[in-house]
């Protein structure tokens, strides 16, 4: 008998996910089904429980690996975010330092120009003083005072103009700094809003996963019951055929009608219309009611979380009232954090007691794997949108 090797079995151990474990379990179940059909169920009575134990351990390890990979991805994302903020701050600091250096350089150049202008004016003043030294004393004194006054007025005017220009430049720089601060505050607000949206998406994703797991469990139970009923019907039909072959006389029409009536009534429930406790809902109506109940539970949880967000925090001066009434039971995840619920035994892929393997259960297992793949794709798209938004901001 040729065994088909699944491509998931050739993957390295670090990249194996829960979906791959389910695929491996499905392939092993198909191989066991072929072996049972060929050699019977007795040779595999001791091997099947061991295979179930190994698959459960592999599923547990795959779940831990996936959880650790998610934590590593979150930590890596946090490190990238901090590095990005560090680079942005370093660039802003370098930009401000360059602007300050440019201002200081312009101030130094203008100061040098003013010093050279003053020295030049002093030299010109000395030359004028020497030229006018031979003229009359009164005229010389009057002209000297006028020249000194004009030079002082010109120098004072230039100094006031330079000071006004520098004050205007300082005002413009202060305005730019205020605008940058406002822009940084808006970016921080957008980052906080995105963080809240990300938390909301994760919460909704977890609710959807829990809802999907409950629906898949109900579907698996219904499929198992349907498979049992079909097996019972096939057993009854085989027994009737065997009895018809063993009986010396051929069955009459009445016997055939009675057998047909028994077969048609097999797996059905006879209802008394006068019974007040008789069932009044069909399976579709009951399924709709259960779905509506689950949706209402989800909405109730969301409303409670919104109320907790909008509720004002209690001050230190407010008195904390004692708790009255019964205390709510803690969830199982909090009471038993180390317990791991395996999906191998729930799906009953390798149940040796029935001595046969249900193909419908493998199909349900494949549906669960596809749903988990869709959830992982949605989470990847959300992370990609976040990273692209942060790159646009930088």
pLDDT of 33: 86
pLDDT of 87: 92
pLDDT of 173: 92
Q: pLDDT digit string (tens) for 17-50?
A: 888 888 888 888 888 888 888 888 787 778 888 8
**What's the whole-number mean pLDDT along residues 96-118?**
88
The proportion of the chain whose per-residue pLDDT surpasses 70, expressed as a percent, equals 61
Q: pLDDT digit string (tens) for 237-284?
A: 888 888 777 655 555 556 656 655 655 555 555 566 666 666 666 677
Confidence label for 320 from pLDDT (cuts 50, 70 and 90): very low
* 248 Cβ neighbours under 8 A, 6+ residues apart: none
- Most confident range, picked from 57-61, 161-165, 346-350, 385-389: 161-165
Residue 75 has pLDDT above 90, yes or no: yes
* Polymer length of the chain: 394
Is the CB of residue 148 less than 8 Å from the CB of residue 125?
yes
Is the CB of residue 374 less than 8 Å from the CB of residue 186?
no
- Most confident range, picked from 12-21, 92-101, 240-249, 361-370: 92-101
Number of Cβ within 10 Å of residue 128's Cβ equals 15
> How far is Cα 277 from Cα 272, in angstroms, rounded to an integer?
9
Tokens of 108: 């130094």
> How far is Cα 187 from Cα 302, in angstroms, rounded to an integer?
28
Confidence label for 14 from pLDDT (cuts 50, 70 and 90): low
């Amino acid at each position: 008998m040729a065994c088909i090797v699944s491509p998931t079995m050739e993957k390295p151990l670090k990249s194996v996910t829960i979906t791959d474990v389910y695929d491996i379990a499905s392939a092993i179940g198909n191989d066991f089904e072929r072996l049972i059909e060929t050699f019977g169920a007795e040779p595999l009575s001791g091997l099947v429980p061991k295979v179930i134990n190994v698959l459960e351990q592999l599923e547990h390890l795959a779940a831990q690996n996936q959880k650790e990979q998610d934590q590593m991805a979150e930590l890596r994302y946090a490190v990238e975010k901090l590095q990005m903020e560090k680079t942005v701050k370093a660039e802003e600091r370098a930009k401000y330092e360059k602007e300050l250096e440019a201002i200081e350089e312009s101030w130094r150049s203008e100061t040098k120009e003013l010093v050279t202008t003053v020295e030049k004016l002093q030299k010109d003043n000395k030359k004028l003083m020497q030229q006018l030294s031979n003229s009359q004393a009164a005229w010389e004194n009057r002209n000297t005072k006028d020249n000194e006054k004009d030079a002082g007025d010109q120098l004072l005017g230039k100094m006031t103009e330079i000071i006004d220009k520098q004050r205007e430049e300082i005002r413009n720089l202060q305005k730019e700094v205020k605008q940058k601060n406002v822009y940084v505050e808006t970016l921080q607000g957008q980052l906080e809003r995105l963080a809240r949206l990300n938390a909301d998406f994760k919460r909704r994703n977890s609710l959807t996963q829990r809802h999907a797991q409950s629906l898949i469990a109900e579907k698996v139970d219904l499929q198992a019951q349907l498979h049992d009923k079909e097996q019972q019907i096939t057993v009854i039909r085989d027994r009737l055929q065997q009895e018809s072959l063993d009986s010396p006389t051929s069955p009459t029409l009445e016997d055939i009608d009675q057998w047909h009536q028994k077969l048609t009534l097999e797996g059905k429930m006879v209802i008394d219309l006068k019974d007040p406790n008789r069932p009044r809902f069909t399976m579709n109506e009951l399924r709709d009611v259960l779905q509506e109940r689950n949706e209402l539970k989800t909405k109730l949880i969301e409303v409670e979380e919104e109320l907790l967000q909008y509720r004002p925090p209690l001050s230190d001066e407010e008195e904390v009232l004692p708790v009255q009434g019964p205390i709510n039971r803690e969830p199982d995840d909090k009471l038993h954090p180390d317990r791991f619920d395996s999906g191998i035994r729930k799906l009953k892929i390798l149940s040796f007691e029935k001595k046969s393997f249900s193909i419908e259960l493998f199909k349900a297992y494949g549906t669960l794997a596809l749903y988990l793949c869709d959830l992982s794709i949605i989470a990847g798209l959300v992370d990609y949108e976040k990273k692209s938004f942060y790159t646009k901001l930088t």
